[in-house]
Amino acid sequence: MSHPAGETVEKWGHTVKKLLVLALVAVGGLLVWRKVQADRAELDLWTEATGSEN
């Protein structure tokens, strides 16, 4: 065992931080995607309601 316990804990800490950042990025992407989809659906409804007269 050439690695001290502190170094192992430090490696786990970096891994956990990377996973947390990845999770936050994924949640942020999901929220943006849902907002875009909602805006697109609203635009489609607006277009259907106002654009069919032409």
> What is the structure's pLDDT at 52?
59
> What is the structure's pLDDT at 7?
81
Position 8 pLDDT exceeds 90: no
Distance CA 54, CA 49 (A): 11
Taking the CB of residue 30, how many other CB atoms lie within 10 A of it? 10
Half-sphere exposure of 38 (CA within 13 A, CB side): 6
Is the model's pTM score more than 0.75?
no
The tens digit of pLDDT for each residue in 17-47 reads 999 999 999 999 999 999 999 999 999 999 9
